[in-house]
Amino acid sequence: MTERVRTAVLISGRGSNMVALLRAAAAPSFPAEIVVVISNRPDAPGLPLARDAGAEALAIDQRPFGRDRRAHEAAIHAALVARDVRLVCLAGYMRLLTPFLVGAWDGRMINIHPSLLPAFPGLHTHARALQAGVKLHGCTVHWVTEQMDEGPVIAQAAVPVLPGDTEESLAARVLAQEHALYPLALRVAAGAAAVPADAAAYMRNPLAAGQGGP
């Protein structure tokens, strides 16, 4: 059996995408093994969920480092190296990374973003999608680069923007697709599946399965 890729998940809050990854990785045939979950916040609700799932859960509190983000990231990097981590997943990690950590994990760090990049990078994506009047919205998993939300796309999932949608209803529809998409993208990133040569990314269309329609 091929050795599974030792993977870490970085979170700041509830970690619902982390839970989706842990559930997928619980299968012995899944190509990635979640060996540690790290949060910059000791009170992150996702940490006990990770422990319940059998993963090591570690808090590396940002507060003792003050404004020295690089020093905080150096502590995270040391924890990752000590555990022989090969791949990092950002799952609601709410700190902007410095070039130090991005460079240290270049080509080995992925992130999930709640929009169809390159549309709506940054924050408040659902409100901005509604304001722009788009007909499709969704989520993207991409490789992390120094430019925020600009790394190469691994996979995307689209949902319709329905009449009467609120920011909350649209966010809930997108989140459901995030939970399905991230394990698929991690499988690709771990090398167990290949992106088709004629496509820049996988596109998961929930409408094909009768989901998310009127």
Q: Out of 113, 126, 142, 179, which one is annotated catalytic? A: 113
Q: Which amino acid is at 73?
A: E
> For residues 32 and 113, is the Cβ–Cβ distance under 8 A?
no
Task: Report how far Cα 72 is from the mean position of its chain's Cα atoms.
Answer: 20
Residue 113 annotated in active site: yes
DSSP string, 156-172: EEEEE--TT--HHHHHH
> Cβ neighbours of residue 8 under 8 Å, at least 6 residues apart?
34, 35, 36, 37, 38, 80, 83, 85, 87, 88, 89
Residues identified as active-site: 113
